[in-house]
């Protein structure tokens, strides 16, 4: 990551906060150091400053750090404002119109994706990707698009062992090496896909929307019946254009296909 001195302290603190928010449980100091690429003293001082501000709590008996109540206040403020949902609704409606298939927006929450917007095509069957539903990120197209744009260390921290790989229909990656291969293929292809791994008979393609730090904030996807599949390349192109449009509107560049 280059010289630590050139990365603003606020950026490092926010990376720590983002990492802690991605974990299912509080984590030890060395996990924070590895995932955020920080020297021990820097990580320790940052965490203590964040404890003082209420964003982090230290669990001394377990030697672990977790999110404090101030992080909840920020999250609930975000939920009240819902800027991402507001920004995404019109582009997603246009994507659904263009492709003729249901479109959705998902954000990473630990090892799950949480669906926050859905634009459903009338007369199409109901999908499991309704707003408020969580699904394992490594099985979904939107989750794979997000994971493919994350630093390798963060993916490793999210999937520390085989127990992290939940399976729905006996398909999908079962190990970190299998996931890495899948994410590498995703980056080379320029979009993510899954076929029958979330719901048998349905496939999805997705791309990630990035912020100004090129951090993936959401996955944009369309889902269609495998039997009447559109040209996946055309659907993927529409999804990538929508993700690039969202990236621009939230202050990022374009999508993972151009990294």
User: Is the distance from CB of 174 to CB of 167 less than 8 angstroms?
Assistant: yes
Q: Quote the pTM value.
A: 0.70
In which residue are the tokens 């390798």 written? 152
Q: Which runs of consecutive H residues, i.e. helices, occur in the chain?
A: 9-22, 29-36, 40-52, 69-81, 83-99, 141-148, 152-158, 176-189, 232-249
- Record the tokens describing residue 175, joined without a space: 């190990």
Residues of the chain with CATH 3.30.450.40: 82-258
CA–CA separation, 151 vs 107, rounded Å? 16
Fold category of 82-258 in CATH: Beta-Lactamase (3.30.450)
73: which residues sit within 8 A by CB, 6+ positions away? none
What is the structure's pLDDT at 34?
94
What is the structure's pLDDT at 126?
64
What is 4-74's CATH number?
1.10.10.10
- pLDDT-flagged residues of the chain (< 50): 1-2, 255-259
Residues of the chain with CATH 1.10.10.10: 4-74
User: Is the distance from CB of 201 to CB of 226 less than 8 angstroms?
Assistant: yes
């Amino acid at each position: 990551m280059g010289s630590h001195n050139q990365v603003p302290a606020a950026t490092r603190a926010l990376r720590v906060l983002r990492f802690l928010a991605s974990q299912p449980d509080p984590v030890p100091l060395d996990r924070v150091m590895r995932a955020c690429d920080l020297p021990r003293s820097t990580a320790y001082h940052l965490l203590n400053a964040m404890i003082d501000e209420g964003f982090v709590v230290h669990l001394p008996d377990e030697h672990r750090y977790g999110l404090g109540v101030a992080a909840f206040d920020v999250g609930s403020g975000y939920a009240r404002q819902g800027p991402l949902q507001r920004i995404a609704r019109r582009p997603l409606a246009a994507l659904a119109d263009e492709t003729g298939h249901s479109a959705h927006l998902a954000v990473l929450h630990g090892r799950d994706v949480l669906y926050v917007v859905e634009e459903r095509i009338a007369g199409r069957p109901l999908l499991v990707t309704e707003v408020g539903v969580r699904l394992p990120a490594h099985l979904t197209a939107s989750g794979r698009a997000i994971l493919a744009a994350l630093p390798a260390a963060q993916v490793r921290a999210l999937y520390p062992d085989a127990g992290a790989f939940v399976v729905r229909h006996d398909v999908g990656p079962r190990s970190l090496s299998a996931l890495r291969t899948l994410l590498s293929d995703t980056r080379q292809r320029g979009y993510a896909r899954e076929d029958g791994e979330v719901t048998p008979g349905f496939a999805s393609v997705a791309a990630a929307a990035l912020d100004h730090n090129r951090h993936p904030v959401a996955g944009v996807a369309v889902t269609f019946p495998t039997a009447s599949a559109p040209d996946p390349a055309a659907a993927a192109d529409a999804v990538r254009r929508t993700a690039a449009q969202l990236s621009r509107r939230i202050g990022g560049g374009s999508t993972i296909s151009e990294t």
